Amino acid sequence: MSLQAHRGALLHFSGDPGDHDDAGSYHHHEDGLLLVEDGRVAAAGSAAELLPALPDGTPIVDHGTDLLLPGLIDTHIHFPQTEVIGSAGRDLLDWLEHYIFAVEARFGDYAYASEVAEVFLDELLRNGTTTALVFCTVHKASVEAFFAAAERRGLRMIAGKVLMDRNCPANLRDTAEDGERETRELIETWHGRGRLAVAITPRFAPTSTPAQLAAAGRLAREYHDTYIHSHLAENLGEIAWVRELFPERRSYLDVYDHYGLLRERAVYAHCIHLDSVDRRRMADCGACAAHAPTSNLYLGSGLFDFAASDEAGLRFGVATDVGGGTSFSMLRTLGEAYKVAQLRGQRLTPLRAFYLATLGNARVLQLQNRIGSFAAGCEADFIAIDWQATPLLARRIAGCRSLSEKLLVLMTLGDERAVRRTYIGGTEAAARAGQDGGTA
């Protein structure tokens, strides 16, 4: 029998709670039941309602008071930068020059890229992240190694080869022609294979010539169901550089727009220093922003504007941006996003934060019918959160009077230690050290 039940507290979303925690946007059961069949969600709801209808002999995994959540989703992260997380830099461009380019040069070696991919995926799963939009390096081998590792684990991952044909070290430089050819080969081999997808990935406008950006635009038109993944308006020095390189364009965003790189499934990391025209243009064409708070704070890049994005209708998600970001933990990332909103004089409620990390990020990736919630038919990627993972967390949770309070404490004090188990397609893929599963 392939049907299995998981009992515990349950939380998932059907909409954006917004600033006022719309009660119709989420589903919470203190004693819930998640039914998984053939790797997909069969049903989710109150244990009292679902238990009586369970077929005799259905195995039940009892998670006690643990919170069952859809697997967390990361909308922008660099797998090669696992090797340099926590490296200092005066700002973005200095950090790239002194740390990032040096380590990325090693990823032409398939064996080395494979080794780091395994470490990277282990870290994602330990932290409860089950899907990510991933930067590789300029080397085709780095993407092949990453996809091979993800495929072995049955993960839903999106990744792409960096396109970079100027303003970078010679050993990390491709050409417009080679970049287009190799990206095309990756698309033909990997896009739609199992749970994998390819992103067309110019690093950012300054490291691609107009010819390379035009080639990326051709690929985006030809392969309309691929993703586009790049950086935008992260740092004031970067923006000034773009203005020098593309003086004919109205803005940084307009560079990408001119070359056909704004459409649905286009995800741009950061989007801090945008004006209202650019935000509306992104919203109108379906492009999305990935807010990376730990990276923005660590590199001193600036503060994302939640209110202006909402006003423009710009859809955004949250992202760790390892290795500019300083943690693989989406819980810690949500805590930092809360602080960014505070510094802006804005509000990010805990319920909205967890929406962003699950269904919200799934919507950014246009995967909301597959992942991000416990809606029937969704892929059964989910995690079990331990409210008592540390003594301090347990003490604070015991004093909370509402779900919102508990979630705020979780995203303030929680990290990978709070993720007791991670499931992929209903099968346990990671467990905190010392944990033994149980059935009833």
- For the segment 171-205, what is each residue's pLDDT rounded down to a tens digit? 999 999 999 999 999 999 999 999 999 999 999 99
For CA atoms 430, 435, 437, 440, the dihedral sign is negative
Q: Is the pLDDT of residue 253 over 70?
A: yes
User: Which whole number is the average pLDDT over 360-368?
Assistant: 98
Q: Which two tokens stand for residue 423?
A: 């499931």
Q: What residue spans of 207-251 are helical by DSSP H?
A: 210-222, 236-245
264-303 pLDDT, tens per residue?
999 999 999 999 999 999 999 999 999 999 999 998 999 9
Task: Compare 199 and 85 and report the one with higher pLDDT.
Answer: 199
State the pLDDT confidence band at 90, using cuts at 50, 70 and 90: low
Mean pLDDT of 375-401: 98
Number of Cβ within a 10 Å radius of residue 431: 17
> Does 439 have pLDDT greater than 80?
no
The runs of H, that is alpha helices, within 225-348 are 236-245, 252-258, 276-285, 293-298, 306-312, 330-343
What's the pLDDT at 440? Answer: 46
Work out the mean pLDDT of the chain and round it to a whole number. 95
Say if residue 323 is preceded by a cis peptide, omega within 30 of 0: yes
**Percent of the chain, pLDDT > 90?**
91
Which H or E element spans position 263? Answer: none
Q: Tell me the pTM.
A: 0.96
**Is 60 exceeded by the pLDDT of residue 437?**
no
Lowest mean pLDDT among 202-216, 350-364, 420-434: 420-434
CA–CA separation, 298 and 327 (whole Å)? 11
Strands 156-160, 162-163: pairing kind: unpaired
CB within 8 Å of 237: residues ≥ 6 apart: 91, 92, 93
Residue 313 pLDDT more than 70? yes
Check residue 94 and give its pLDDT: 77
Sequence-separated (6 or more) residues with CB below 8 Å from residue 18: 25, 349, 352
3-class state of residue 252 by DSSP: helix
How far apart CA 293 and CA 336 sit, in angstroms, is 6
Give the least confident one: 79-83, 116-120, 160-164, 410-414. Answer: 79-83
- At residue 93 the predicted structure's pLDDT band, cuts being 50, 70 and 90, is low
- How many other C-beta atoms lie within 10 A of the C-beta of residue 183? 27
Give the integer Cα–Cα distance in Å for 172 and 430.
34
Angstrom distances, CA of residue 137 to CA of 163, 335, 390, 401: 8, 29, 37, 47
| Token pair for 415 | 């990290």
Percent share of the chain, pLDDT over 70: 97
Q: Is residue 244 a contact partner of residue 203, using CB atoms and an 8 Å limit? A: no
CA distance 142 to 140: 5
In whole angstroms, give the CA distance from residue 133 to residue 362. Answer: 11
For 162: left if phi > 0, alpha if psi spans -120 to 50, otherwise beta; the answer is: beta
pLDDT in tens, 228-237: 999 999 999 9
In three-state secondary structure terms, 132 is strand
Name the strand (E) or helix (H) holding 185: helix 176-190
Question: What is the per-residue pLDDT across 17-63, written as a single tens digit (0 to 9) for each?
Answer: 999 999 999 999 999 999 999 999 999 999 999 999 999 999 999 99
CA atoms within 13 A on the CB side of 180: 18
Three-state SS for 95?
Answer: helix
If 0-12 CB within 10 Å is exposed, 13-18 middle and 19+ buried, where does residue 218 land?
A: middle
Measured CA distances, 367 to 85, 95, 158, 348, 358 (Å): 28, 33, 11, 23, 11
CA gap 210, 216 in Å, rounded:
10
Copy the structure tokens of residue 175.
């050409």
Taking only the tens place, the pLDDT of each residue in 126-136 is 999 999 999 99
